[in-house]
Amino acid sequence: MQNQGRPDDFEQVMLPHLDAAYNLARWLVRDSSVAEDVVQDAYERACKYYSSFRGGSGRAWLLRIVRNAAYATLKAERRGMKVSLSSGTRADDDDGVETDIPDSRPGPEATLAQRQELATLNEALNALPLAWQECLILREMEALSYKEMARIMDVPIGTVMSRLARARQALQRGDREGFVPNVGTPSVPTDCHRPTGAAQ
């Protein structure tokens, strides 16, 4: 087969998808430092099992590994094994030098409005079941095809399409029926299933 996983091709085939891997992990685990750990774990797994890659979309193959690693992390967190690697400190790079360059960034009102819109969107996304969120992220942010999404999520294409349609409708309506707002994990619609264990 063409494009089979040869160890010397790993970086060329998989590294271009690093941003997509991080985006998916970040949305699934909702924590940037945990998402970095998930991506690192996924890339380690991908490197280890790269010889089993049989060509096709390296992006879809990698994102499936990222998805499985994220679900494994979420499952471990639910069991109380969460470990935070974040120190919560930042280095201050301000050296006290002033410049007279005009600031091209939006003003405080525009920045506040944008932050409020993003917070509202984030809240609406977080109220959706994880399977619906996953569909939206893979389609709208990563621009994957339905076929690639089905392969990553290990469901039929029809399920991908119905979850995506339902997620879009829920966001458009702002309808939260069936969801537990701002408390714990949102409930799951009947077409969604919770991961019982992420396959490597």
Span 79-114, pLDDT tens digits: 875 444 443 444 444 444 444 545 566 677 777 777
And the tokens for 41? Answer: 């774990």
* pLDDT at position 157: 94
* pLDDT at position 166: 92
> CB-based burial of residue 181 (10 Å sphere; 0-12 exposed, 13-18 middle, 19+ buried)?
exposed
* pLDDT at position 143: 87
Task: Give every CB contact of residue 170 below 8 A, 6+ residues apart in sequence.
Answer: 128, 132, 176
How far apart CA 67 and CA 153 sit, in angstroms, is: 8
**Is residue 116 within a helix (H) or strand (E), and if so which, with residue range?**
helix 108-127
Residues of the chain with pLDDT under 50: 1-3, 82-99, 101, 175-190, 192-200
* Residue at token pair 């707002």: 181
* pLDDT at position 116: 79
* pLDDT at position 179: 42
Report all structural domains of the chain as residue ranges with CATH numbers, in order of start.
Answer: 7-78 (1.10.1740.10), 115-173 (1.10.10.10)
For the whole model, what pTM was predicted? 0.56
